[in-house]
Structure 1
Amino acid sequence: MKKGIYLLFLIVKEKISIKVGSLGTITFSKGLYVYIGSAQNNLEKRIDRHLKKDKKIFWHIDYITTNPHTEIISVMYLENASKRLESTIACNLSKKFSKIKNFGATDDKTCNSHFFKLI
């Protein structure tokens, strides 16, 4: 079982509004997004879970990945990468791209988003 970090590249096919747990209703415009996350036990299993449409909603990203108007188009991952690197990448992305505040970042004290609109 390997730990690591991953990036999910998703397309939102049309404008959608989704209630995302405690974050409330968020509107996502059509476009390309990236989510950065980590798995401390089994990276492959975590990524496989994200690729499934039919699953119990547990993380913020699940609200997006279960929506019929979204599609994961690519995944990048780094085995044995630290949560610190996950946070560093998220902070760097937040300097260049629009972010959804507090999305996917409940355990990150440095960066307040792990979900970004690229185009």
Structure 2
Amino acid sequence: MAAHNDSGKEAEELVKTWLVGRGYQFVEANFRYKHAEIDLIFTYKGLLVFVEVKFRSGTGFGFAEEFVDSTKRKLIVKAVDHFIHLKDWQKDIRFDIVTVYRDKNGNVNFKQFEDAFY
């Protein structure tokens, strides 16, 4: 597996642990539908929360959240539509982006964008 894939999986595990620590209940990871994937799915305060995780070691090429473009959002929405149909989810949903940055000292920082898109 390529190094960027390893970093992405590590970032997803870090975000999962971080959100569970903030009161989110983990539902599923890496739900796939056709060409789309939802990184993490949680419930939180009655919502079903779909989380796109982005990892960067710096901001030299832009902020991580900027890499969730319109094409990526459309794919995520299609996968979410499929997921909520499969689960017969009848309550509200939310799309979040959580970015993970590792500084030069190896410290990890998170930034959560709630209701990032629809």
TM-score (norm 1): 0.29
The structure that has the greater radius of gyration is 2
Of structures 1 and 2, the one scoring higher in RCO (CA 8 A, sep 6+) is 1
The structure with the greater share of residues assigned to helix is 2
TM-score (norm 2): 0.29
